[in-house]
Structure 1
Amino acid sequence: MTGEPSTRHVVVMGVSGAGKTTVARGIAALTGLAFAEADEFHSEANVARMRAGVPLDDDDRWPWLRALAGWMADRHREGVSTVLACSALKRSYRDVLRQGPPSVDFVHLAGPTEVIRERMSLRSDHYMPASLLDSQTATLEPLWPDERGVVLDLRLATEALIVAGVERLGLPVPRVASGVPTPREPYAPDRR
């Protein structure tokens, strides 16, 4: 026994407009995992760049990613499981996130760029302009075979995405008065 608390840490990933925040909040609501929105960890300078339509480069992202890994590591030490909405576009970015808690699972919301562009055009409450979608799509590296996680089609209904993420990762669902069952399938990494 190492004395380490047993926790789970999930990152809902994908390009801006994929539905990461909505799905991550839903997973948090269903499982009781602590939720965080990665965008809230960006520096004011990063937010200003994105508002101006200027893509972030890796030098802009490294401190942000380390802060996210630190947040998950702190929650792990407290014995708290987490779900984070974060683009996590590159393998190297996901590697930094994995430096936080002992293990991280990813839920990649993937789908056609046209669908995402349409969703982004309908948003009025986000600083990421639709013009940066092409930059994010070009940067995106799908999960590698050795990375723990699942890929879900973002065209599914929100509820279906939430349930699929919970079930496919084998996340525990607390029983409630209505008798919500625990997920049926144990965790098994997606092997595309």
Structure 2
Amino acid sequence: MQPTLVSETLLLQPLEADDFEGLYAAARDPETWAGHPAKNRFERDVFRSYFDFLSGNGGTLVAVDRSSDQIIGCSRYYAAPDMPGSISIGFTFLKNAYWGGAWNFGMKKLMLGHVFDSFNEVWFHIDPTNIRSQKATAKLGAEHVYDANLALGKDPADWKCYRLTQAAWGQRCAKSLPS
């Protein structure tokens, strides 16, 4: 699940080894990680470990602002460990200059449009302390279904598990602008 997806403003393309510097440039501002559990991910060595994880596990798409041709973040498709046969979207971050509904919504719109060709629902796993991501996911139309302790990275951790159905996404897209 590493397609190339394109809109008027955004390009999502498979992560490659030579994307490190561009992706790190998007990640090196401490403000980008201020509300995230991994508050020190702006540090080069910490980010390198994250990048290596993304590279080694597949499914990651690099987000490129088509007007500047700069990498602005990434997101990833992955299988939910507790939902066999399902698909999840996560490990998403955007450079803080791109925060706000339009960019995250645009990225998710491309990814969800692609995945709903094959799946009827998508899962999102969000750290309980990451309020920004919880709110953004709810704005997509996803609902918090349960909490679980899952190994999505190196070690098991607590996650809030949100589900977005194809029907709820269709209703969300019927609205003209992201809220």
More helix by share: 1
Greater relative contact order (Cα 8 A, min sep 6): structure 1 or 2?
1
Structure of greater Rg: 1
TM-score by length of 2: 0.28
Structure having the larger proportion of residues in strand: 2
What is the TM-score of this pair, normalised by structure 1? Answer: 0.26
